[in-house]
């Protein structure tokens, strides 16, 4: 079995369960939620559809991000429209549909942000490690356990924190936000740990990046015949800054954060300008009378947009720096044009940092 095949099946099962759960919740006849504040259900809508999109993306049924976003948006609108059916005794609302779309927009931005550059060093090893991680039931159990703990811890922390405020927010609201943040932090930490140990194993055993069979020595895998270039085994210099050394922190770190800040200020300015104009169509979303739940959803969208613009900028800067990998040592800046190369890999004569002689070609071969 190819690495990732079993994991994808489990992932698809999870996606269908999530879809059934959200559909049941949105179509439960006459569901009355005892919500602590006006508009809290908008937050629930956004969170539910964001999670749904994030769970469905890795199933691989749709591989193009724009198509996936369109399909998810269409589903969310259909889900809301079906609530207008008399038998379910629910009501379909434009604002609920907008909240659903906001959730999907945030999920799409997260998906774009998480996408890996196939030309980045170590991408083939990372991709194989991911497929091998999701194949292991222990990894799923570790993620489930850490999510549960993260949700509890995040919920308790935020409920406690808000009770100390001078104007406390509603406990259920902060529990929901705290649990969501707690799950995100715990899952991220767990996946980072799982991926690190798996990557170390893949490198130590020199696993074929196509079929996962260990013990690849030479230009091709003995099992499946796939090309495995020597450059596959180069360890990326830095994981923290998009695969470029820390000395580029201004271009790859500071400038993108500034850009994200500028975008956030522009969005805030635009929303203030629009709320002053008091356009009747925009009244439910802008201005002082907006219900607090909807405002929270829109704020989350603004933050997600600003963060993803910053991330996009940072990745583009890192790509440009890495494009010079075969001319200039990424670690010390030494000129590599005269350096020795052997089967697509060389070493800097100044600092001994390994480099890929033909990063684009290496990425093409790595797949």
Residues that bind Zn ion (CB under 5 A): 208, 210-211, 221, 223-224, 226, 329, 331-332, 334, 348, 350-351, 353
Nearest to Zn ion of 230, 291 (CB atom): 230
Closest CA to 107 of 58, 40, 143: 58
Nearest to Zn ion of 62, 220 (CB atom): 220
Number of Cβ atoms within 10 Å of the Cβ of 137: 10
Give the shortest CB-225-to-Zn ion separation in angstroms. Answer: 7
Give the shortest CB-217-to-Zn ion separation in angstroms. Answer: 12
286-291: long-range pairs with CB below 8 Å, 24+: 291/38, 291/39, 291/42
State the DSSP string of 241-298. Answer: TTTS-GGGHIIIIIHHHHHHHHHHHHHHHHHHHHHHHT-TTTTTTSSTTS-HHHHHHH
Q: Determine which helix (DSSP H) or strand (DSSP E) holds 116, and give its type and residue range.
A: none
Bridge partners, 244 (sequence order): none
Nearest to Zn ion of 3, 293 (CB atom): 3
Give the shortest CB-216-to-Zn ion separation in angstroms. Answer: 7
Residues in contact with 245: Cβ distance below 8 Å, sequence separation at least 6, in sequence order: 237, 238, 330, 331
Give the shortest CB-366-to-Zn ion separation in angstroms. Answer: 12
Give the shortest CB-350-to-Zn ion separation in angstroms. Answer: 4
Give the shortest CB-163-to-Zn ion separation in angstroms. Answer: 54
Nearest to Zn ion of 47, 330 (CB atom): 330
Q: What whole-number distance in Å separates Cα of residue 248 and Cα of residue 238?
A: 11
Nearest to Zn ion of 146, 210 (CB atom): 210
Q: What whole-number distance in Å separates Cα of residue 129 and Cα of residue 123?
A: 10
Give the shortest CB-9-to-Zn ion separation in angstroms. Answer: 21
Q: Angle at CA 108, nearest 5°, toward 105 and 114?
A: 145
Residues in contact with 81: Cβ distance below 8 Å, sequence separation at least 6, in sequence order: 92, 97
Strands (E), the chain: 341-342, 345-347, 354-356
């Amino acid at each position: 079995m190819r690495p990732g095949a079993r994991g994808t099946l489990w992932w698809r099962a999870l996606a269908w369960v999530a879809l059934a759960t959200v559909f049941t919740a949105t179509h439960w006849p006459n569901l009355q939620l005892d919500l602590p504040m006006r508009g809290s259900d908008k937050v629930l809508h956004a969170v539910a559809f964001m999670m749904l999109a994030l769970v469905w993306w890795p199933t691989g049924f749709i591989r193009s991000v724009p198509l996936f976003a369109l399909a998810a948006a269409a589903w969310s609108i259909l889900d809301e429209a079906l609530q207008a059916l008399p038998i379910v005794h629910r009501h379909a609302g434009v604002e609920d549909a907008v909240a659903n779309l906001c959730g999907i927009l945030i999920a799409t931005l997260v998906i774009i942000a998480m996408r890996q550059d196939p030309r980045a060093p170590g991408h083939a090893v990372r991709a194989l490690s991911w497929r091998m991680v999701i194949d292991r039931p222990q990894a799923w159990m570790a993620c489930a356990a850490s999510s549960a703990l993260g949700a509890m811890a995040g919920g308790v922390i935020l409920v406690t924190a808000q009770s100390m405020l001078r104007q406390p927010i509603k406990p259920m609201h902060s529990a929901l936000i705290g649990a969501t943040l707690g799950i995100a932090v715990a899952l991220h930490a767990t996946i980072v740990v799982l991926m690190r140990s798996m990557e170390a194993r893949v490198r130590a055993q020199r696993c074929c990046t196509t079929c996962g069979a260990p013990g690849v020595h030479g230009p091709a895998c003995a099992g499946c015949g796939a090309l495995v270039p020597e450059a596959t085994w180069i360890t990326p210099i830095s994981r923290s800054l998009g695969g470029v050394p820390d000395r580029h922190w201004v271009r790859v770190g500071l400038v993108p954060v500034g850009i994200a800040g500028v975008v956030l200020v522009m969005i805030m300015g635009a929303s203030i300008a629009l709320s002053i104009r008091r356009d009747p169509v925009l009244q439910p979303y802008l201005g002082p009378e907006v219900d607090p739940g909807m405002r929270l959803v829109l704020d989350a969208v603004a933050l997600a947009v600003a963060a993803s613009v910053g991330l996009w900028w940072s990745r583009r800067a890192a790509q440009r720096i890495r494009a010079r990998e075969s001319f200039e040592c990424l670690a010390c800046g030494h000129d590599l044009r005269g350096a020795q190369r052997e089967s697509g890999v060389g070493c800097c004569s100044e600092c001994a940092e390994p480099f890929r002689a033909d990063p684009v070609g290496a990425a093409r071969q790595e797949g």
